[in-house]
Chain A
Amino acid sequence: MQNKLNHIMASVAESIFEQVAFVFADDIGIHCRPQDNNWDALGAELKFTGTINGTIHLWLETTLASNIALNMLAAEEPIEKEKAIDAVREMCNIISGNFITTAYQNADIILHIPDLLDTKILHEDFIDPHGVWFSSDDGAILILVKET
């Protein structure tokens, strides 16, 4: 089941990154995980409840998050960290909403407001074997789908 969910997530997320943030994944898979255990990333979490419950975590390499915010704002000048955080939360929101519609079809599921993830959770997610990893020109992306 986890493999099926991850396959759907990989497809949905790749499409959303292209459409919304103009970010193109070079590659997908565990081999895209950075070698550096101190990976610098910003994360957001979206909880969903209803006939199926779970959480979705999205981590974006900090440089990538800033570039996504620039792309989404159509800006050229450097932006504040708050806008990079806003971009991570909104990408998590859009990816999660589209993933849930695709993966669970017409199940009655409520999406919650995305929250920023504490970097303390990053290490746990980084080594999770069920993570969906992407690489892009500006850095790595990690997404975790967990049914609870």
Chain B
Amino acid sequence: MAYSILIVDDSEIIRSMISRTITLTKLPVHTFREARNGIEALDVLNRDWIDIVFTDLNMPVMNGLDLIKNMKKTVDLEDVPVIVITTEGNIHRLDELKDAGARDCIRKPFTPEKIRDVITNVLGVWDAK
């Protein structure tokens, strides 16, 4: 099985770094989709099949927390796993993200190993040859 992945971040550079890092994990990827904020992400999610979402927290227009809350209110999207990639180290905010339904949080700067561990935890093990 190959996965469709949505990367949400207002920085083009970070979106590129995340997709390259995921590629390094050897996860079979069908498509990388990108969005610059929560609103654009919801638009993609409502149109296309997405297996997992990687989102930043602090973004203009709609932030990562509101994106998760909106997804949880939508039957077709509530089970799509969301991983937050953020510089945020505030325990209260990280707890708020988990409470809202984020499956995991990754601190920036991230490593391929950390991304691989989180994906393994969320999607299961794959043959990384």
Contact = CB atoms under 8 A, between A and B. Distances in A.
B14 interface: yes
A82 to B, nearest CB: 8
A96 B88 CA distance: 9
A18 B79 CA distance: 37
Nearest to B92: A108
A98 B89 contact: yes
Interface stretch (A27-35, A85-93, A122-130, A132-140): A85-93
A8 interface: no
Which of under 10, 10 to 19, 20 to 34, or 35 or more describes the interface residues of B? 20 to 34
A134 B86 CA distance: 25
Which of under 10, 10 to 19, 20 to 34, or 35 or more describes the interface residues of A? 20 to 34
A94 B93 contact: no
A108 B90 CA distance: 6
A97 B20 contact: no
A66 B107 CA distance: 24
23 contacts: A72-B13, A72-B16, A73-B17, A74-B20, A83-B13, A86-B12, A86-B13, A90-B13, A93-B58, A93-B108, A94-B87, A97-B86, A97-B87, A98-B87, A98-B108, A100-B89, A101-B90, A106-B91, A108-B92, A110-B90, A112-B58, A113-B10, A113-B60
